[in-house]
Amino acid sequence: MTKLSVNINKIATIRNARGGRMPDVTLAAVNCEKFGAEGITVHPRPDERHIRYADVRDIRPLITTEFNIEGNPIPSFVDLVNENRPHQVTLVPDAHDAITSDSGWDTIRNRDFLTEICEEFRRNGIRTSIFVGADPAMVEGAAACGADRVELYTEPYASMFPDNPEAAVAPFIKAAQAARECGLGLNAGHDLNLDNLEFFIRNIPWTDEVSIGHALISDALYMGLEQTIKAYLAKIKIF
Q: What is the per-residue pLDDT for 124?
A: 97
Q: What is the C-alpha separation between 135 and 125, in angstroms, rounded?
A: 28
222 close to 209: Cβ distance less than 8 angstroms: no
Q: Is the dihedral of CA 157, 170, 104, 12 positive or negative?
A: positive
* pLDDT of 134 strictly over 90: yes
186 close to 204: Cβ distance less than 8 angstroms: yes
151 close to 189: Cβ distance less than 8 angstroms: yes
Average pLDDT along the chain: 95
Q: What is the per-residue pLDDT for 89?
A: 98
Q: What is the per-residue pLDDT for 46?
A: 87
Per-residue pLDDT tens digits for 160-185: 999 999 999 999 999 999 999 999 99
Q: What is the per-residue pLDDT for 94?
A: 75
Q: What is the per-residue pLDDT for 99?
A: 53
Q: Give the pLDDT band (50/70/90) at residue 104.
A: confident
Burial group, residue 81, by CB count within 10 angstroms (0-12, 13-18, 19+): buried
The pairing of beta strand 39-42 with beta strand 3-7: parallel
Name all contacts of 25-30 with Cβ < 8 Å and 24+ positions apart.
25/51, 25/55, 25/58, 25/59, 26/55, 26/58, 26/59, 26/62, 28/225, 29/59, 29/62, 29/63, 30/62
Instruction: Give this prediction's pTM.
Output: 0.94
The dihedral over CA atoms of 124, 127, 131, 134, expressed in degrees to the nearest 10, equals: 150
- Summarize the confidence of residues 230-235 as an average pLDDT: 98
* pLDDT of 101 strictly over 60: no
* pLDDT of 95 strictly over 70: no
Q: What is the per-residue pLDDT for 108?
A: 96
Q: What is the per-residue pLDDT for 8?
A: 98
Q: What is the C-alpha separation between 132 and 184, in angstroms, rounded?
A: 13
Per-residue pLDDT tens digits for 3-35: 999 999 999 999 999 989 999 999 999 999 999
Considering the chain, what percentage of its residues have pLDDT values greater than 90?
92
Q: What is the per-residue pLDDT for 96?
A: 60
- Summarize the confidence of residues 88-106 as an average pLDDT: 77
| The amino acid at 176 | A
List the catalytic residues.
43, 70, 190
